[in-house]
């Protein structure tokens, strides 16, 4: 069985800190230069300066607690997936079932829920599809990380701005502009387990002028052999899934911008082998896989009409295709393949007006219309062909919203917002948001936040009938959140925040058994709440080093009976350390993440664990960059909770309780710039 013993985070931590101390010492010595104050003006103006890193100003006035991960963070830390980016966010853990990644935010988020309560945006536009509401954060996320300018994460409800699914939080991935990338780069990457990736980017133009950005990448990882103790017997290859953990993707991106007009398009197609035998499959059958394919295009126009008036308009289209081959049926009769598919196609238009013409107010008003013309699910047996399910339920959505940032004197800002959503299937809903910000004299800002959000039941929950009964009458889920934040932000290089939050959810969708026919059916039955404290501090030191840490203590419980929610850690601790530049050409970064023990969906437990990742980035001349990383340096054994669908085709089915995660992993990336 998996180790359930709680590990003290301090042991790993002290090892990591010891390793880093030497580096800091060296950095301090490197900080010597001429006395700038003695230089004449002409020389001073000719001096090349290094732009200091700053914590973005506006974070402080945001009506929420925002986390920003920049392109430079991604480069220094060697991140390769959106999951890795999100794992560094305070309060966030991401579990993995060797097919999809599932976010847990401040204690909330089930394994297996496909991130339906996390809204993922690409340049402000929705990526979550309209069949499953799936928020892609793993290798199926269609944008290469080298093309990302920054990732912004806002915990808490975002429905007052973004509508459905902005439930536990919003991830906005903002892509670079062609001018910042200027030139062509080719990267060749290698990963433990013979994983390979080739990436190509091209950027041209000057910032603000005509800019072009192109990107293409191909990834192929054969994966590891994965052991599942629950399946360990002689008939099931002793619980080892061989050669089925493979992961492959192709990605394309293009963005052209000129004078406020931006056209962009993306495509990403990922195929993943399924080693867990999920949904009653034959274990260790090499045929089982899933395909996730995202494609989207958008055209937008933005113009600052005057100093106080800003206009934005855009149209977009997004497509998602899902296909999976499952090998089901009892082993004695010979298991047979069946195919499950989903198609989602949405097109929409939006307008937004920002005005600061009214003194002391900043108003944002907007409207959106979306037509989900394709919203289809099907399931069929391959041989002999038998159609088990084929349903299509297109729908329409429209929304209007208004926000106001009102300055009440020098010290007080009242930020209010409200959005009204109409959904041809789920009906109408209105979600408000209120934030009161008070700037004290001592550079401390106090914030009080209240907001609500909703998630409209998706097509899968309403209409999927292969294994269970449809329930088209499902209502939307609702959440209310309260949060108090104190922020100390004295200089551009230091910031500390403490936050107390409570999230209250009702009408949550969960599977129940129909009393009449005994079939499983989704129903609005659950209510739960999460309460916790989050503290965070960030310090950008003058020698170029940086420290960022966060800690959470939280509790998420079901309202009925008070049961501890599955997959919900009660304590989290994160530390990111960027060492001072080691000469002009080398940067080192270390990351520590501690997750306390968690309940599994089946009522067991997975133990707490602390992981250390290291990354080193160096440049050779002006054309070559090398990046080397070690993930899980101390090869700490750890596991995530499995979910309801992780059972095989045995009679009775064998359920997985936990899914083992990767040990030590190495990666090397070489990039050539032309």
* Site residues for another protein per CB under 8 A: 19, 22-23, 25-27, 29-30, 32-33, 36-37, 39-42, 44-52, 54, 57, 60, 192, 407, 410, 441, 443, 489-493, 542, 544, 580-584, 586, 588, 614, 616, 628, 630, 633, 664, 666
> Please, what is the minimum distance in Å from the beta carbon of residue 482 to another protein?
27
**8 A C-beta contact, residue 383 and residue 337:** yes
Long-range contacts of 113-116 (CB under 8 A, 24+ apart): 113/643, 116/165, 116/167, 116/455, 116/458
Q: Which pair of structure tokens corresponds to residue 607?
A: 């133990």
Q: What are the CA-CA distances from residue 309 to residues 209, 325, 402 (Å)? A: 21, 52, 15
Q: Report the residue number, 323 or 362, with the smaller CB distance to another protein.
A: 362
Q: What is the DSSP track for 532-557?
A: EEEEEEEEE-TTS-EEEEEEEEEEEE
Q: Report the residue number, 49 or 473, with the smaller CB distance to another protein.
A: 49
> Please, what is the minimum distance in Å from the beta carbon of residue 435 to another protein?
16
> Please, what is the minimum distance in Å from the beta carbon of residue 547 to another protein?
15
Q: Report the residue number, 121 or 540, with the smaller CB distance to another protein.
A: 540
**8 A C-beta contact, residue 615 and residue 631:** no
> Please, what is the minimum distance in Å from the beta carbon of residue 586 to another protein?
6
> Please, what is the minimum distance in Å from the beta carbon of residue 633 to another protein?
7
Q: Report the residue number, 424 or 491, with the smaller CB distance to another protein.
A: 491
Q: Report the residue number, 36 or 533, with the smaller CB distance to another protein.
A: 36
Whole-angstrom distance, CA of residue 373 vs CA of residue 348:
10
Whole-angstrom distance, CA of residue 586 vs CA of residue 465:
56
> Please, what is the minimum distance in Å from the beta carbon of residue 487 to another protein?
12
Q: Which of 350, 347, 349, 294 is nearest to 317 (CA)?
A: 347
Place of tokens 């290859």: 237
> Please, what is the minimum distance in Å from the beta carbon of residue 238 to another protein?
24
> Please, what is the minimum distance in Å from the beta carbon of residue 264 to another protein?
26
Residue 213 CA, chain-centre distance (Å), reads: 23
CB atoms within 10 A of CB 610: 22
Q: Report the residue number, 33 or 621, with the smaller CB distance to another protein.
A: 33
Q: Report the residue number, 263 or 309, with the smaller CB distance to another protein.
A: 309
Q: Which residues pair with 92 in a beta bridge?
A: 105
Total residue count of the chain as it appears in this document: 674
Q: Which pair of structure tokens corresponds to residue 388?
A: 């088990």
Q: Report the residue number, 80 or 646, with the smaller CB distance to another protein.
A: 80
Q: Which of 535, 542, 608, 605 is nearest to 575 (CA)?
A: 535
Whole-angstrom distance, CA of residue 17 vs CA of residue 38:
38
Q: Report the residue number, 36 or 525, with the smaller CB distance to another protein.
A: 36
Q: Report the residue number, 362 or 602, with the smaller CB distance to another protein.
A: 362
> Please, what is the minimum distance in Å from the beta carbon of residue 660 to another protein?
18
Element (H, E) at 74: helix 71-77
> Please, what is the minimum distance in Å from the beta carbon of residue 406 to another protein?
13
Q: Which residues, in sequence order, are CB contacts of 37 under 8 Å at separation 6+?
A: none
Element (H, E) at 372: strand 361-381
């Amino acid at each position: 069985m998996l180790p359930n013993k709680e590990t003290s985070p301090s042991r790993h931590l002290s090892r990591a800190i010891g390793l880093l101390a030497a580096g800091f010492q060296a950095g301090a010595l490197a900080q010597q230069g001429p006395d700038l104050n003695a230089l004449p003006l002409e020389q001073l103006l000719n001096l090349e300066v290094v732009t200091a890193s700053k914590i973005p100003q506006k974070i402080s006035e945001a009506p929420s607690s925002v986390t920003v991960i920049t392109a430079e963070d991604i480069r220094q830390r060697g991140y390769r997936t959106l999951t890795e980016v999100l794992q560094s966010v305070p309060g966030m853990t991401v579990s993995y079932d060797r097919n999809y990644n599932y976010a847990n935010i401040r204690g909330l988020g089930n394994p297996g829920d496909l991130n339906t309560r996390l809204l993922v945006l690409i340049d402000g536009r929705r990526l979550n599809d309209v069949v499953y509401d799936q928020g892609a954060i793993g290798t199926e996320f269609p944008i290469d990380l080298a093309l990302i300018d920054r990732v912004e994460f806002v915990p808490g409800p975002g429905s007052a701005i973004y509508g459905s699914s902005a439930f536990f939080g919003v991830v906005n991935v903002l892509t670079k502009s062609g001018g910042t990338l200027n030139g062509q780069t080719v990267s060749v990457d290698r990963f433990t387990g013979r994983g390979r990736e080739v990436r190509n980017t091209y950027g041209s133009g000057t910032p603000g002028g005509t800019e072009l950005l192109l990107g293409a990448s191909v990834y192929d990882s054969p994966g590891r052999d994965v052991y599942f103790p629950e399946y360990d017997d002689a008939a099931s290859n002793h619980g080892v899934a061989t050669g089925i953990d493979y992961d492959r993707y192709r990605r394309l991106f293009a963005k052209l911008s000129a004078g406020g007009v931006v056209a962009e398009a993306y495509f990403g197609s990922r195929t993943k082998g399924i080693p867990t035998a999920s949904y009653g499959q034959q274990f260790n059958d090499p045929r089982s896989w899933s395909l996730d394919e995202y494609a989207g295009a958008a055209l937008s126009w933005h113009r600052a009409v005057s100093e106080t008036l800003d206009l934005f308009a855009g149209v977009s289209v997004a497509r998602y295709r899902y296909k999976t081959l499952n090998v089901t049926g009892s082993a004695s009769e010979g298991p047979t393949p069946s195919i499950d598919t989903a198609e989602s196609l949405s097109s929409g238009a939006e307008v937004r007006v920002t005005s600061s013409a009214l003194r002391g107010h900043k108003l944002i008003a907007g409207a959106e219309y979306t037509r989900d013309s394709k919203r289809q699910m099907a399931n069929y047996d391959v041989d002999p062909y038998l159609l088990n399910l084929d349903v299509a339920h297109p729908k329409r959505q429209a929304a209007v919203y208004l926000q106001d940032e009102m300055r009440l004197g020098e010290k007080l800002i009242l930020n209010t917002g409200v959005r009204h959503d109409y959904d041809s299937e789920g009906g109408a809903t209105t979600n408000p948001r209120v934030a009161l910000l008070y700037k004290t004299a001592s550079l401390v800002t106090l914030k009080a936040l209240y907001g609500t959000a909703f998630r409209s039941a998706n097509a899968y929950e309403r209409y999927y009938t292969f294994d269970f009964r449809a329930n088209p009458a499902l209502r939307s889920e609702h959440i209310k959140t309260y949060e108090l934040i104190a922020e100390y932000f004295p200089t551009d290089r230091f910031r500390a925040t403490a936050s107390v939050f409570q999230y209250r959810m009702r009408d949550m969708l969960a599977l129940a058994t129909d009393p009449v026919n005994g079939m499983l059916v989704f129903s609005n039955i659950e209510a739960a709440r999460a309460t916790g404290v989050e503290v965070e501090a960030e310090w950008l030191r003058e020698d170029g080093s940086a420290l960022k840490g966060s800690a959470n203590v939280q509790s998420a419980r079901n309202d009925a009976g008070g049961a501890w929610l599955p997959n919900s850690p009660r304590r989290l601790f994160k530390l990111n350390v960027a060492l001072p530049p080691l000469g002009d050409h080398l940067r080192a970064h270390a990351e520590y993440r501690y997750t306390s023990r968690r309940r599994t969906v089946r009522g067991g437990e997975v133990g707490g664990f602390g992981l250390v990742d290291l990354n080193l980035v160096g440049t050779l001349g002006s054309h070559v960059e090398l990046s080397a990383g070690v993930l899980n340096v101390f090869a700490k054994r750890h596991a995530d909770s499995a979910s309801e669908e992780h059972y095989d085709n045995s009679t009775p089915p064998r359920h997985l309780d936990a899914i083992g995660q990767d040990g030590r992993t190495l990666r090397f990336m070489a990039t050539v710039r032309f």
